[in-house]
Amino acid sequence: MSGKVVLHYFDGRGKMESIRWLLAAAGVEFDEVLLTKREQYEKMLKDGDLVFQQVPLVEIDGMKLVQTKAILNYIAGKYNLYGKDVSERAMIDVYSEGLRDLMEMMMILPFTPPEKKEAQLKTIQDRATGRYLPAYEKALAGSQFLVGGKMSCADVHLIEATLMLQEKFPAIISSFPNVKAFQGRMKAVPAISKFLQPGSKRKPQPDDVYVKTVMSVLNMQLPVQ
């Protein structure tokens, strides 16, 4: 196993995108093995690399880690993006989980049957404006970052989520001035600014090719309900 971090996932956002974001924010270079064929996934299963027969899989520090949260927590802990004590860590988890709930709703959108997409988009917009953005707006009042006055993984998830929301609802953060200012500050962080440049390993919005690839690699028969 080489010393470099290696990500094994599809050529798309999905559950790996927050991991890409966090590594990028921590200034960690990584390689990617992109799953395009069922045989690649079957080989990983056969080699015993996928503890729960699921990706994401990340090779890091001699380990082959699965489970998105475990991977994110390891990276956050290692690169000082996980608070200074257990209390800060708890709050970072609270804010991170909220963002994961929100991003999960967006993640399944491309797998949602066409006739249900509009309703799902409406739910996302309502939840974002009525539940999630107000919470982050409040948390950022008088503070540069969500927890402890210092950048944490929760902040990295927040910029990822707000940018993702704006792709669908361009004006969505305009009535949340603290979140808007936060996004501006985060975009100016050199490692994040680099990740936002074209040609970085940040993935574009999911398209039909991505959906078809995921479904064929995982032998998924039906769209996610």
213 belongs to the binding site for ligand GSH (CB under 6 A): no
- The interface region with ligand GSH, picked from 48-56, 87-95, 120-128, 182-190 by CB under 6 A, is 48-56
110 belongs to the binding site for ligand GSH (CB under 6 A): no
At 113, the amino acid letter reads P
Q: Binder to ligand GSH among 19, 24, 25, 55 (CB under 6 A)?
A: 55
DSSP secondary structure code for residue 144 in this structure:
S
- The interface region with ligand GSH, picked from 53-61, 137-145, 146-154, 170-178 by CB under 6 A, is 53-61
At 176, the amino acid letter reads F
218 belongs to the binding site for ligand GSH (CB under 6 A): yes
Contacts of 72 (CB under 8 A, 6+ apart): 18, 19, 22, 96, 153
68/96 with CB nearer ligand GSH: 68
211 belongs to the binding site for ligand GSH (CB under 6 A): no
Using CA atoms, how far apart are residues 91 and 142, in angstroms rounded to an integer? 17
DSSP secondary structure code for residue 3 in this structure:
S
15 belongs to the binding site for ligand GSH (CB under 6 A): yes
DSSP secondary structure code for residue 84 in this structure:
S
Q: 60: part of which helix (H) or strand (E)?
A: strand 57-60
DSSP secondary structure code for residue 223 in this structure:
-
52/130 with CB nearer ligand GSH: 52
Using CA atoms, how far apart are residues 131 and 127, in angstroms rounded to an integer? 5
Q: Find the shortest distance in angstroms from Cβ 41 to ligand GSH.
A: 8
1/51 with CB nearer ligand GSH: 51
Q: Binder to ligand GSH among 6, 11, 28, 54 (CB under 6 A)?
A: 54
Question: Residue 81's closest CA among 143, 19, 30?
Answer: 19
Structure tokens at 129: 């404006």
At 103, the amino acid letter reads M
Q: Binder to ligand GSH among 24, 44, 56, 152 (CB under 6 A)?
A: 56
166 belongs to the binding site for ligand GSH (CB under 6 A): no
Give the contact letters, 64-83, x = binds to ligand GSH (CB under 6 A), - = no. Answer: ---xx---------------
Structure tokens at 121: 């988009």
14 belongs to the binding site for ligand GSH (CB under 6 A): yes
12 belongs to the binding site for ligand GSH (CB under 6 A): no
Q: 65: part of which helix (H) or strand (E)?
A: strand 63-66
Which stretches of the chain bind ligand GSH, using CB under 6 A? 14-15, 53-56, 67-68, 218
